[in-house]
Chains A and B, each alone.
Chain A
Amino acid sequence: MDNIAGRKSSLNWAVNLSVIFLVLLWIIPTVGLLVSSFRDRDQISASGWWLAPFSAEQAYRARTSTEATPEGDIFVVTGNVFEESEATGTLSAFGVRSIAPGEFTVGTVADLGDGESLSIAENGDYEFRTPEEPGRRGQRIYFTAETPPEFTLENYETVLGAGGMAQAFINTLTVTIPATIIPILIAAFAAYALAWMQFPMRGLLIALVVGLLVVPLQLALVPLLRLHTEWGIGRSFLGVWMAHTGFGLPLAIYLLRNYMVGLPRDIIESAKVDGATDFQVFTKIVLPLSFPALASFAIFQFLWTWNDLLVAKVFLPDGDQAMVMTRKIADDLLGSRGGDWGILASAAFVSIAVPLLVFFTMQRYLVRGLLAGSVK
């Protein structure tokens, strides 16, 4: 319709290209993290993740064996550098000094002075000739090898095992599920009253909910922690569930009320004419009809509690047995394994896998909820 004027094709090209550009810009960071989480530490620092499908040139070092076979008046040491180091792949260059690790190309015989010589083949077989019997330490060899791309689950194993992400995953789940389920019913009753019952101050209460929607969580931290301590709850899972319930209620009431107000008036009024009480109208008619709104809120609250760092930091005790994933990453892994990109990437992916799954399977409800919450 925009292209009635007949500029269809050129404009279409421009639109397609800009959308491709935008989408790439938006997904590249996440793809980078995903790819990195499957690469081992050495590969990550050797080449960018965008080169992951190609082999990378990496530097290694090794020592020649100490067992020499005398051959006339010289000693010959043979072996394979790949067996004496962690390296794999094909060798591209070698050297004997750390400042010039790629001094000699593969296949050449390097003259090391003092009558010593060294040659290394592409597959790593070396031959070291020396006039003196080698001592207890062999000759140092530096070499670079083209390592083929290699993907591994090692990072995930480390992070879930020794990294403690498995425990943190369970903790996050423990925080999230009650914190998602409990507010729904409380909010649904209130939303029904605000949508379909007549009583004084109703408008004021709705305005209050809209106002509380905006109150920064930061305000609640100190007074509530003190309240929880006075009640004997302290910093515990119970405290987090209660806090998340309280903080989730304004959005829940607002979303559900907006949805319930839009339900057809005839159904509710005819039920009342037939003698149904408000309690029956709510449980038998409004609640089942509001399923889409209930689902949207449940998804919001789930994502919000799963992804939350602040509330968990304040209302949960310190220490591994109650550490949720966001906190594990922000406070523990970033500090203790700050340079270990593979570990960080896999930890991040463990923590965002469930929200992404929820997002892609239930996007419909999420969008509907957003629209109900913002546009009227």
Chain B
Amino acid sequence: MAVQEDTQGASFIQGQAVIWLIGGLLLVAAIALLLPDVRGMLGNSPILQGVLTIVLGVGGCIGYFWASNIVLDKVIFPAKGANAGKNINRANMVRPWLFIFPAFAALGLYLAYPVVGSFIRSLYDRSGDTFIGFGNYAWLMQDSEFQQAVFNNILWALVVPAGSTFFGLVAAQLTDRLSWGNIAKSLIFMPMAISFVGASLIWKFVYANDADIGIVNAFREWVFGADSVDPLQVSFWNNFFLMFILIWIQTGFAMVILSAALRGIPEETVEAAIVDGASPLQVFFKIKVPQIMGTIVVVWTTITILVLKVFDIVYTMTGGNFGTQILPSYMFEFMFRDDGRATAVAFVIMLIVTPVMVWNIIQARKEMR
């Protein structure tokens, strides 16, 4: 008992020292902020601003959690006196809310409020003063570029998840028992780290309209002796060339998750099938795939959600020209120009995502039980 008290005492002192240190830093930062010279310097130096924000953000967080717990336990509901037991219980009822408050305040402000805020804004005209009901939506419905964007977005939402999951599954199965499988996986997984803009540039080279730069045109010239074309201007199919960029990025994600799921399949089921004379293909499609169906669906929906949000690829590759417009890049055409229409397009994206969201919530609730 004495030993325990000792260590508790030591860690208490240690904890206090940390708090004093952070408090001191915050104080210095606050005083510095009051000096006009320092403010001027900060205005010119984003890096200093960044350092200060980290100190204030992290310090503020620790300070908030620590101080609010102290206030709760020592001041509001002290575990002393006549109501000690009751007070401990009360404090424990309040504490969870202290823990989740900053996170849910930020979530509410940055993600929940915008759903409502965007919808309301979408009911007003460009200036934001005149209420026009569903006028923006009506305008969108008759705009041919919007129709094109919706059609293309549906294509994207069907093709990209299917392609990524297919390649991911194939890669996961093939590399599973290979001696150099981990290296292969790592290389296929690599595009995940590359930005959509970087990936677009990489593929701009591949698709370049010059047989001496673009490998696609070089291949066409070498095999068919054909003149070079710009794949990004081949109407309709250019959408698929853009989709392949996202498939290229997302296959690694699908592969990693499906590979883990494949490893989780009980060996006995596979052994039994082989003993019964199943061919490798049959083992794969009739034994393995059905057992990881749940994971396949999760991968599929995760990629679907991502697809509906990605705007960088179309923006960088074609700017939405040549019939490749999709909703996120279409929305950006109105950003800073007509907030009414921009929010209306954003809300259409939200409507498309909603079924997936509901399904996700239902799944999550099932798992928790």
CB proximity of A218 to chain B, nearest CB, Å: 4
* Interface residue from A208, A250, A314, A370 paired with B256 (Cβ < 8 Å): A370
Given contacts A181-B54, A215-B115, A307-B195, contact A45 B99 (CB under 8 A): no
| A247–B103 CB distance below 8 A | no
Residues from chain B with Cβ under 8 Å of A278 in the complex: 92, 95, 99
Given contacts A29-B248, A238-B49, A247-B110, contact A199 B93 (CB under 8 A): yes
Chain A residue with the shortest CB-CB distance to B194: A352
Does any Cβ of A come within 8 Å of B308's Cβ?
A: yes
* Interface residue from A3, A16, A30, A284 paired with B11 (Cβ < 8 Å): A284
Does any Cβ of B come within 8 Å of A126's Cβ?
A: no
B121, B181, B335, B347 interface centre (most CB from chain A within 10 Å): B335
A247-297, CB < 8 A from B: 247, 249-250, 253, 274, 277-279, 282, 284
| A359–B193 CB distance below 8 A | yes
Residues from chain A with Cβ under 8 Å of B342 in the complex: 221-222
B98-141, CB < 8 A from A: 99-100, 102-104, 106-107, 109-115, 117-118, 121
| A15–B178 CB distance below 8 A | yes
Residues from chain B with Cβ under 8 Å of A47 in the complex: 212
Residues from chain A with Cβ under 8 Å of B346 in the complex: 216, 218-219, 221-222
Does any Cβ of B come within 8 Å of A344's Cβ?
A: yes
| B65–A23 CB distance below 8 A | no
Residues from chain A with Cβ under 8 Å of B208 in the complex: 341
Residues from chain A with Cβ under 8 Å of B205 in the complex: 29, 32-33, 36, 49, 341, 345
Complex CA gap A245/B105 in Å reads 12
| B343–A222 CB distance below 8 A | yes
Instruction: Annotate B257-284 by CB proximity to A: 1 below 8 A, 0 otherwise.
Output: 1001100000100110011010110010
Given contacts A182-B58, A209-B107, A309-B196, contact A50 B4 (CB under 8 A): no
* Interface residue from B177, B186, B188, B347 paired with A360 (Cβ < 8 Å): B186
| A28–B215 CB distance below 8 A | yes
* Interface residue from A22, A207, A355 paired with B365 (Cβ < 8 Å): A207
Residues from chain A with Cβ under 8 Å of B95 in the complex: 193, 197, 278-279
Complex CA gap A49/B202 in Å reads 13
Residues from chain B with Cβ under 8 Å of A247 in the complex: 110-111
Given contacts A19-B184, A197-B99, contact A326 B335 (CB under 8 A): no
Binds A, one of B27-35, B144-152, B156-164, B309-317: B309-317
| B270–A182 CB distance below 8 A | no
Does any Cβ of B come within 8 Å of A224's Cβ?
A: yes
* Interface residue from A22, A28, A44, A212 paired with B107 (Cβ < 8 Å): A212
Residues from chain B with Cβ under 8 Å of A348 in the complex: 197-198, 201-202
A50, A203, A222, A307 interface centre (most CB from chain B within 10 Å): A222
Does any Cβ of A come within 8 Å of B97's Cβ?
A: yes
| B248–A1 CB distance below 8 A | no
| B96–A193 CB distance below 8 A | yes
Q: Which residue numbers of B lie inside 8 Å of A, CB to CB?
A: 4, 11, 46-47, 49-50, 53-54, 57-58, 61-62, 65-66, 69, 73, 92-93, 95-97, 99-100, 102-104, 106-107, 109-115, 117-118, 121, 167, 170-171, 174-175, 177-178, 181, 184, 186-198, 200-206, 208, 210-213, 215, 218, 248, 251, 253, 256-257, 260-261, 267, 270-271, 274-275, 277, 279-280, 283, 295, 298-299, 302, 305, 308-309, 311-312, 315-316, 328, 331-332, 335, 339, 342-343, 345-347, 349-350, 353, 356-357, 360-361, 364-365, 367-368
Would you give 20 A-B contacts (Cβ < 8 Å), ordered by A? Answer: A26-B187, A30-B191, A178-B53, A185-B61, A194-B100, A211-B357, A212-B107, A212-B111, A223-B121, A227-B109, A237-B46, A247-B110, A310-B312, A326-B197, A326-B198, A330-B197, A344-B204, A345-B205, A358-B193, A375-B260
Q: Which residue numbers of A lie inside 8 Å of B, CB to CB?
A: 1-5, 7, 11, 15-16, 18-19, 22-23, 26-30, 32-33, 36, 44-50, 170-171, 174, 177-178, 181-182, 185-187, 189-190, 192-194, 197-199, 202-203, 205-224, 227, 237-238, 241-243, 245-247, 249-250, 253, 274, 277-279, 282, 284, 303, 306-310, 313-314, 321-322, 326, 329-330, 334, 341, 344-345, 347-348, 351-352, 355-356, 358-360, 363, 366-367, 370-371, 374-376
